[in-house]
Amino acid sequence: MNDFVIFPAGMSIDLADDIPLEALLVNTPDVLKNFRKYEELIQAARPSLKMLDSGGYQIFLKENKEGIHMTFNDDEEFCMTSERFNIGPRHVVDAAEQVNPDIAVALDFPIRKLTGYSGQRAEFYMKLPFNWRWALRTSEIMTQPGWILIRCSFRSSAMTSGNLRSSTTAFEEAHLAASLCRCGISSWTRS
């Protein structure tokens, strides 16, 4: 059986000084906005394991806010302001290069938990093209020299919170996971 590891999120330097950490979760948008802060946090916490999450949660928070222009363009600079949010798979890789995590999560567009089967199913299929495209793009980046795939499993914040199971049939979930694994998408680490 594998070890169970908790990756605490939302840590700050003042907490890291008080609590010895085995593992630490940091988020791509936060790292890209202020890497120095996270570099200090990692030095203070000295975790054995580091995990980089993709920024899907920030997409989730901003997707229905009025006045925020959201783009997912790798060719433009990462941007997270009150008026604009731009993030793409390349930005997640950029953050991974800075943090050097043991585990990094590919960019995903989280699936909201909605009531009713048809609404939940529509939400899943509306976001599937984003997740599929980002999975393929991440695979392209991660197959370049210097990166090694360390496991093959579909993990999005939607799935880990249990929303994906309620939004799809077991067949759809298995099909999507198998498709993404064939692309070589999941977590990766720097060689």
What are the extents of the domains in the chain? 13-190
Residue 115, by phi and psi: left (phi above 0), alpha (psi -120 to 50) or beta? beta
pLDDT of residue 159: 36
pLDDT of residue 111: 83
Closest-CA residue to 99 (of 168, 154, 169, 52): 52
Indicate if the pLDDT at residue 124 is higher than 60: yes
Indicate if the pLDDT at residue 87 is higher than 70: yes
CA-atom Rg of the chain in angstroms: 17
Kindly report whether the global pTM for this prediction surpasses the value 0.85: no
7-64 pLDDT per residue, tens: 888 888 877 776 778 899 999 999 999 999 988 988 888 898 999 998 888 888 888 7
- How many CA atoms are closer than 13 Å to the CA of 48, on its beta-carbon side? 5
